[in-house]
Chain A
Amino acid sequence: MKLSVVDTERCVGCQSCMFACARHHGEAGLSGTCIGVGSIGGMERGFKVIVCRACVDSPCVKICPTDALKPRKGGGVRFNTTKCIGCGYCQDACPIGCVFWNDETNKPIICAHCGYCAKFCPHGVLTLEKKKKRKEAGHATR
């Protein structure tokens, strides 16, 4: 299963997905979210939706000095919080900004591709794709 951005043109910028992600991590507010919605230079131009695209051979895994991040079957990564020393290399390594940071725990928040956020997207911007249908290219973040 993989979370996928279907069409950002439908995004109205309500950020319900961001709040959903935090709730799924057991938190209210926004510290615990690993999905980001922001305008692409003024709201009149529309929005970008930044979310882990479960890449193969992920840069964040390769740079992690403590093996807190490990490849996940079918792409993406698994995060072991007890091994993490909060160095932040993973955040710097991801070129699309998908490693979010929880300032309160000083650790990254890594998307588990659970699809909870997609349930709270009112306009079908997000979807949880079955593994077989995965598209390699496309508009994972924009």
Chain B
Amino acid sequence: MLPDDTLANVLYVDLSKKHFRIDKRQDLFDKYIGGAGVAIQLLREECPEGIDPFDPENPIVFAVGPLTALFPLASKTVAMFKSPHTGNLGESHCGGRSAVAIRMAGYGAIVIKGASDIPLYLAIHKDQIHFRDASSLWGIGNSFTVGRIIRENEPEPGLRTIMRIGRAGEQLVSYSCVVTETYRHFGRLGLGAVFGSKKLKAVMVSGKRSLPVSDKKEYKKVYHEIYQEAVSSPVMKKYQDLGTAENVVPLNKFGGLPTKNLKEARFDGASEISGETFAEQYLGRRLACSHCPVACIHIAALREPYEKAYFYKTSMISYDYEPIYALCSMLGGSDAAAFLKLMDRIEALGLDVMSTGVVLAWATEAQERGVISEKETMGIKLGWGDYTAYMKAVRLIVEQPNKFYKALARGVDRAASLYGGDDYALAFGGNEMPGYHTGPGAHIGVLIGSRHSHLDNAGYSVDQKVLAKKQVSPEELAEALLSEERWRQILSSLVVCFFARGIYKPDAVSKTLRLAGFDIAPEDLLSIGEEIHKEKYRFKTREGFSLDKLRLPKRIFETLSPTGKLDEKFIRKTIEYVKEEMSRSPGRH
């Protein structure tokens, strides 16, 4: 990296002592680039082995990369922590203004440890760090309101990120998220609850600075090339037009859209919840993350009568493919307006929408089968597509008034361990399933993925592009998933959005990195990716993860996938091969 680049600065904050320091960690960035590569090193350094995720010593690590604020689309912040949801590696990526704000404040990474005695929020304005009393913000029912208050209290509009939690994070729901800029999230593995356990209501970061480049003339030229691709390349078009919601119709046609807790993989109501329907009837605005000309964020405008005659309320609600899957097809609901209202409430509470949808789907089936009754649900009759019931249930998941809702607040694995029904408890590696029943690739991908996310290695894409056309061996499938996941370590260390993976190919990565002072040949990138992937697995293994212990919910074998009936032996064999492969190559330690 370039010697005067502030990327090397790591801000360490101690919430217990209300103290901070800034260290130069060029060693980490030189070796691991940034983002996920640096974050896993900081996590390994800072997280004591075997600690409870709610222990004050559990660190929250945020990291950005050398291309952030230098080139378009390097707009993600990688968060790492020990996850209260899986008890293992927590990794979550978020856009909005977070990455550019952290880089412009003069940091490559931020590490937050300790726990405060009173609720507080951190205000990081370049090298001015303020511990602000957030006692008056604690307990506010709506995360939008918290964002608005901090927005009005702090300077630098347009140049800042405000990462905050809702009630779900305060109440330690193990899949609560951190919301930034109202519509983007550190979702999935419960970063919100780690914030909550530290009495940390929000982290706001702002800054503005110039960055060094190795060759100014070449920089302008290469920037222009990347920008042109971002705005004109066909690989970016789908994100611009309908957004990720575009997937609803093709996935349904393909027969891979999980429906009613995956009792089915096709949904009758798909056309009512399609990307086309939302665009035509509800799309109210499109937004972009900082330094991304694509603007994939789709916001629906929902106008509804409110309380009395001639009173109306218009809510602006973000939608994407995954929330539509989790709250519509998975719950057997096709009422788009009711979905938006439920989505709005989940955002206000600060829950991860995918896990929430899968938890509700499990509960609905469990009640249908008589495994649980209205005694547990406190009088709520959960039924497929009954959004009125779901609206009530999500509030109770956050407030946790009884043992049942306490269990739901820990995810389907916990709920099924207490009440039964693990055959249809759809979690993989402890994380609730994403919206793909496309074939074995999707499920294996999530099982072996280092953060148990469909984005780890895009197994759903292997199903659709390869397995739908020809048979492959377990070895070939394992190889395809592993090599994708290794490459994605590079993207998430650059913090380039995965949607831009078609633009940031090895040559482009090497070329842009050179301007940031990193001299890495395209062919060397892959081995760095492999090493980062191994480092994550080392952390996972240290914390008790084993590829031998993975639970496969029976349901995935009962419901036909587009590639046919799934074969457990094939899946186990593939996982076995992944295991061999992970233990074979020595890597650097």
Contact = CB atoms under 8 A, between A and B. Distances in A.
A19 B291 contact: yes
B70 interface: yes
B209 A31 contact: yes
Contact of A29 (B69, B183, B231): B69
A80 interface: no
Given A37-B158, A42-B182, A22 B291 contact: no
Contact of B287 (A12, A26, A27, A28): A12
Most buried by A among B151, B157, B216, B219: B157
A44 to B, nearest CB: 4
Given A39-B158, A43-B183, A23 B220 contact: yes
Given A28-B219, A36-B158, A14 B209 contact: no
Nearest to A104: B210
21 contacts: A13-B295, A14-B291, A15-B100, A15-B291, A16-B227, A22-B210, A23-B223, A27-B210, A28-B69, A28-B210, A28-B213, A29-B211, A30-B159, A32-B210, A39-B158, A41-B148, A42-B182, A43-B287, A46-B285, A103-B208, A120-B227
Of the four ranges (under 10, 10 to 19, 20 to 34, 35 or more), the interface on chain A belongs to: 20 to 34
Interface string A2-38: 0000000000111110010011001111111000111
Contact of A122 (B159, B290, B295): B295
A16 B293 contact: yes
Interface of A: 12-16, 19, 22-23, 26-32, 36-39, 41-44, 46, 103-104, 120, 122-123
Given A14-B289, A15-B288, A23-B220, 6 more contacts: A12-B288, A28-B70, A30-B159, A30-B210, A43-B183, A44-B285
B447 to A, nearest CB: 36
A16 B226 CA distance: 12
- 9 closest A-B pairs by beta carbon, nearest first, are A38-B158, A44-B316, A14-B288, A12-B295, A122-B293, A29-B211, A31-B210, A29-B210, A38-B157
Nearest to A26: B216
B530 interface: no
Contacts of B295: 12-14, 122-123
A19 B69 contact: yes
B506 interface: no
Interface in B183-202: 183
A122 B236 CA distance: 13
